[in-house]
Structure 1
């Protein structure tokens, strides 16, 4: 049970999670100082830790540097700052003065003020099992410039070595896992794009270089923010490493003053001692139970029309796809781009969110009624934050986009970015989205965002930098308001694929479009990186046509289904032209997925063999008394003999029934020896194996 206690004698706090402990204290100068983060300790045991401030041993190296709970700039503190302020007279240094604290259940707030200037700082901690959520609030009675305001500084135990795990990528190649030794000095992972970004993701895991999938201590931190962000790891010669993170970027400042407080986004931290696998399972449980809007809800099998129709959208064509999708067992039909304005390509119409009457003479209601009549929910694609210069909206309101008065407005995908920090733009977006959802019975929005910021100016505003955070805040507020007004509405976040993936958007979106790349071999790696932090319950994965439009590679339909079934299954091919044989197989696979869906979407993930250049990769989900194993042979070389696959997470004292073969297996044997896979020979062979624990 999570508990927070206060030690008045030592002016310290102990946050006790289910299997871990986090502790901090005030030093002699009231500076909030890190004490411990790691395996479970009692409050009495924390008191035994050496927390004395050590004197300087020379004029250059402070032995206590790197243990600030929110490393503030100023004085002789030279560590990477998490908080930098500039007062009206030019003073930069912050001097902490403790005010008081409040513990409310699993929430701790510690309040400080500057010793001279009217600036107040509150540090917040909230326990969610073994996850510690942290954020910072700033307020002031006079205007203060905030150069940097991170959510937290995380101090790790002193170690001989540190290794960083993180993901990198680009469009159509997101979430590629990397593990590297932590360099000395500062290493920055960041996005300056106004969105989370394809090239990196706001989380990092740290170990001592010896952790494996099953063994070793792992520390992880993740930021809940969908705009520009920054994580900085700092490794010193003294043998300490910290991670500091928050929203913002170099050169962009915040202003705090009367009526203008600043609250940073949540940054979550997690310690586990069971290797990277245990870390991922703990993160997945946290996201499902405390982040996603409907934690126990199963995501439906969807069909998306984009790859079948592109911009060539007609009512008759969508009806034909819907009828075929319903016959396959699809539960949610999503019409993609091309239904509105003059939208016959990506060059025009974006921003004119009214139904194209040439394509839908009687509006959308007849199509929605057809989809509902077929027993499916209806979804639709929108891109609220963008506008084409060739649109009625832009011609009427060219000032509504991000721009500088004497600079060219850079276009990407023939688009400009609307300034959602403006109240009139946010109100306009809510009006048409509320009407679209309410008047048509829309059940699902695919919310896209297909380009990053550029020329991010706001002419005429006295604080133009605020658009960098307030744009994201406005998107959050709009999603929250739509969901509150339409409780049945569900949302998929998308930004050219996986460009908006983080804990912040997952608090408003039910799932994320993982990548525009549906090539199966690439997806194995993309999904492997995605699953390091985020659960399968949020990972959209489609079966599309051969060849892949990204790689021009073809794979068997069976393999394509099996790869997509490891997440939230969708179909995105031109099913009107599929053969009867392929349609029959698709029905079989969708029925299988609907059977195993609770295990995949709610179960614990075990990565049995990670993706490699060839050979077999495998993963396993366990939920209650059911197990699902996915195995994929990417390429076969030299007639390598098949070997059994050792499973994980089973009860060795029980037996497990394979309902498809009728065989039963000892849990102990599956753990110690393995499961015969029986994969067909050759490349692109795969299997989905169901096991049921016998009681």
Structure 2
């Protein structure tokens, strides 16, 4: 810091968290603090001086800490937040100068400009008072006289905790989403990139930075998620001088983003939490924030109905009498919504024809969908329908009429996936066509739910030879908003071959996620546990699938499948109900009834992971917003390595309060142990212990077999 340079500071305080920044000498501000509340009388200018790095050998002659929007033009050798240039090669680096800080309640805006390059910059921050979640974004405006090619624009960069030593990210594939990966903080760059045109199965746009002592309920944790449903880049970096940063933004394809004079470009929002309460502290904040600020359910005060989905019962074999029979069985068991999946439009006897022709097949439904819908409604159920609007088959009337509506690079081989091509939804004629067809379906038929699928990646997202991948996402959001305005009572599920489009961006436009096409309960539990780091439980469909599973071949008994779905999210059924034995039907009906008794808690509480010393035991518990009761689900997913089980420790309870625990009434009790053990949870008045004892010492469960489920209900005593 040069002698006499001025220091300007700003801070946000909300929800027990402080964000503090400081600008030295009129430059872009550095991030001083993002974490637990600092005293209001804290001297932020002194803190800025304390954090300035010392001069280094063979380094810059003036100490400059990288800003919250790092710039190569200020001597930073790591990843800059902006990579851009003009056609003559100029404008490749910036030196933004601070214009002003603007604060308004829980929001902060940082305005800056670089008149030499011809750019203005606006960094926006909002800190939620209820959850302490930070929302941050960057906007640049081209104030120059020539176009600016933008290769990279990051949201404001965040700095991890000084003792953080590891990163958590998520990879995956179809039928195996949200696979946790743990890696040490890099010396250099840890880079995740997604070029699939959707959020993707292969990687999730989120990251955790954890301190050495971080566990489920204590220790520093920083969580960050980019709310965007297309191509993205996320990077964690440590430079040679020890500066650490995490950046996230849209991954633009070459030449995709050109900013004309007088226009602006904004990043999607980054959502972040910094807590000293471990991974469960992150999950609690993100879940509550998503529920309160992003999720827009058309009937928020109504219980989410138990689904029956026709897919794994009949696939493309649509016979109205058969479907009515399935509806009869579903209603008898307690289902409340019937969802007709793929196969209802012309040519759709297989997956290689018909996409794009969104009219009801007169061969399968000569009188339209009304006879089936009327029958479903007479049983007390509502009706939902599967659609895949962004896709088209070459064998379709739409493609034969408008081959130019498909994304492509002229002269290149047309690449199909799942026998599908992708429509250019950002083309106005395409967007209008899709809206008109969907609007007609929803206007003519009593449909209150759309399962919106997207079953392939974007391999040639081009129009007139230029990349338009990001425009597809914006057009999708606009189409969903337009449908919502025209049909405010319709719920929408985001499905993309399962969990290929799950993020905070699409959550503003959809009310449910299909976590995975894998209905194998054994595989679904670990995927759900990871996804709950960011999302509330009620947005995830959890269906009772067939045995053997159609995706893995694994055989699981009905008790485990049905009660897992009952406590694992938004319950549904996706199997041929006519094949069930009387005993299986009775178990399934009882599980549905159990779900209905508990869904008010499950869909409004905070779900936290449970600490178990046994690798074969894992669990979660949902605590009511007022802390009065909870429901815990513990899964034994492997053979226990020890001779006996280790204690299970609970989370999120009042340490000074006392709780009564019982095996949940109506839930099955695993009974495969060769030597009986009568757990106190099954005795009379149950087990009464303090929150401190339950969280620090815990309790033991009996030995069981793999793929068994314990459901424990707890209530706080007056």
TM-score range, shorter chain: over 0.9
Q: Does 1:633 align with 2:636?
A: yes
- Runs of 4+ with >6 A deviation: none
Query: 1:67 deviation in Å?
Result: 3.0
Match of 2:520 in 1: 519
Q: In the superposition, relative to structure 1, how do residues 247 and 66 fare at CA in structure 2: closer, same or farther (>3 Å)?
A: farther
Paired with 2:158 and 2:646, the residues of 1 have a C-alpha distance of 43
Answering whether residue 72 of structure 2 is matched by residue 70 of structure 1, we say: no
Aligned-residue offset at 1:237: 3.4
- The answer to whether the 8 A contact 1:192-1:249 is kept is no
Task: Give 1:22's match in structure 2, choosing from 14, 19, 24.
Answer: 19
- Matched ranges for 1:137-152 at <5 A: 137-141=139-143, 142=145, 143-152=147-156
Residue 392 of structure 2 corresponds to which residue in structure 1? Answer: 387
The correspondence for 1:410, drawn from 412, 415, 425, is: 415
Task: Give CA-to-partner distance per residue, 1:571-601, whole Å, 9 cap, x none.
Answer: 1011122122211111110010111112222
Distance 2:153 2:106 in 1: 24
Judge conservation of contact 2:529–2:620 (CA < 8 Å) in 1: no
* Contact map agreement 1:72 1:84 (CA 8 A) in 2: no
Alignment of 1:92-171 (within 5 A): 92-129=92-129, 130-141=132-143, 142=145, 143-159=147-163, 162-171=165-174
The reply to whether residue 570 of structure 1 matches residue 585 of structure 2 is: no
The Cα of 1:154 is off from its aligned counterpart by 0.9
In the TM superposition, residue 85 of structure 1 has moved relative to its aligned partner by: 2.1
CA shift digits 1:621-644 (9 cap, x unpaired): 111322111122223357833455
Aligned equivalent of 1:654: 658
Identify if the C-alpha distance between structure 1 residues 49 and 331 changes in structure 2 by more than 3 Å, giving closer, same or farther. Answer: farther
Inter-partner Cα distance in structure 2 for 1:473 and 1:638: 50
Larger mean CA deviation between 297-306 and 218-227 belongs to 297-306
Structure 2 unmatched ranges of 5 or more: 666-681
Counterpart position of 2:448: 443
Correspondence for 1:621: 622
Q: What is the CA distance between 1:194 and its match in structure 2?
A: 0.8
Query: 1:152 touches 1:246 (CA, 8 Å); kept in 2?
Result: no
2:687: which partner in 1?
665
2:175 is aligned with 1:172: yes
Secondary structure of the 2:417 match is coil
Q: Is the 8 A contact 2:20 2:44 kept in 1?
A: no
Alpha-carbon offset, residue 493 of structure 1: 0.4
What secondary structure sits across from 1:16 in the alignment?
strand
Pick aligned residue for 2:47 from 50, 72, 84? 50
* SS of equivalent residue, structure 1 residue 152: coil
Q: Which residue matches 1:486?
A: 487
**One of 348, 353, 357 as aligned partner of 2:353:** 348
TM-score, with structure 2 as normaliser: 0.90
Q: TM-score, length-normalised on structure 1?
A: 0.93
Superposed displacement of residue 55, structure 1: 6.4
Q: Residue 66 of structure 1 contacts residue 241 of structure 1 at CA under 8 Å; is this kept in 2?
A: no
Following the alignment from structure 1 to structure 2, what is the Cα–Cα distance between the partners of residues 180 and 46? 36
Contact 1:66 1:155 in 2 (8 A): no
The equivalent position to 1:359 in structure 2, one of 350, 355, 364, is 364
Correspondence 1:541-560 to 2 at 5 A: 541-560=542-561
Matches of 1:62 and 1:443, distance apart in 2: 65
- C-alpha deviation, 1:682, in angstroms: 3.1
Change in 2 beyond 3 A, CA 1:617/1:671? same
Contact 1:156-1:240 within 8 A present in 2 as well: no
SS at match of 1:276: helix
- What CA distance in whole angstroms lies between the structure 2 residues aligned with 1:453 and 1:313? 30
Q: 1:594 aligns with which of 589, 593, 596?
A: 596
Query: Residue 496 in 1 paired to residue 497 in 2?
Result: yes
Tell me the equivalent position of 1:319. Answer: 324
The aligned residue for residue 4 of structure 1 is: none
Q: Return closer, same or farther for 1:61/1:389 CA change in 2, 3 Å cut-off.
A: farther
Q: Partners in 1 of 2:502 and 2:613 — Cα distance?
A: 22
| Contact 1:615–1:634 (CA under 8 A) maintained in structure 2 | yes
Please state how far the C-alpha of 1:99 moved relative to its aligned partner.
Answer: 2.7
Matched, 1:425 2:425: no
**Which residue of structure 2 lines up, in the alignment, with residue 5 of structure 1?**
none
Which ranges in structure 1 are unaligned for 5 or more consecutive residues? 1-7
- The alpha carbon displacement at 1:374 in A equals 1.5
**Any conservation in 2 of the 1:407–1:455 contact (CA below 8 Å)?**
no
Q: Structure 2: how far apart are the matches of 1:63 and 1:522?
A: 55
CA offset digits 1:226-245 (Å, max 9, x no partner): 00000011112333321000
Q: Which moved more, 1:102-111 or 1:492-501?
A: 102-111
8 Å contact from structure 2 (residues 659, 714) kept in 1:
no
Deviation digits for residues 71-127 of structure 1 (CA, Å, limit 9, x no counterpart): 234353222111122135421121213333433332222222212243221111111
Q: Contact between 2:124 and 2:137, CA under 8 Å: does it hold in 1?
A: yes
Deviation at 1:256, TM superposition (A): 1.7
Deviation, structure 1 residue 478: 1.0
Total equivalences in the alignment: 681
User: Structure 1 residues 648 and 155, CA, compared in 2 at 3 Å: closer, same or farther?
Assistant: closer
- Larger displacement relative to structure 2 (46-55 or 371-380): 46-55
- Secondary structure at 1:548's aligned position in 2? coil
* Match of residue 59 from structure 1: 58
Q: CA deviation at 1:299?
A: 2.5
Mapping 1:152-301, distance limit 5 Å: 152-159=156-163, 162-249=165-252, 251-258=254-261, 260-294=263-297, 298-301=303-306
Distance change >3 Å, CA 16–CA 626, structure 1 → 2: same
Q: Deviations over 1:476-529 (max 9, x none)?
A: 111111112212111110111101011101111111100011212211221122
Aligned residue number for residue 31 of structure 1:
28
CA contact (8 A) 2:601 2:623 kept: yes
SS for the counterpart of 2:412 is: coil
Contact 2:161 2:211 (8 Å CA) reproduced: no
RMSD of aligned residue pairs (Cα, Å): 2.3
CA drift at 1:250: 5.6
Aligned to 1:83: 82
Q: What is the match of residue 689 of structure 1?
A: 712
* Alignment partners' CA distance in 1, 2:61 and 2:212: 26
Counterparts of 2:413 and 2:594 in 1: how far apart (Å)? 53
Is the alpha carbon distance of 1:684 and 1:90 closer, same or farther for their aligned partners in structure 2, counting shifts above 3 Å? closer
- Partner of residue 675, structure 2: none
Q: Which residue of 1 aligns with 2:674?
A: none
Q: Please, which moves more after superposition, 489-498 or 34-43? A: 34-43
> Structure 1 residues 269, 201: closer, same or farther in 2, change over 3 A?
same
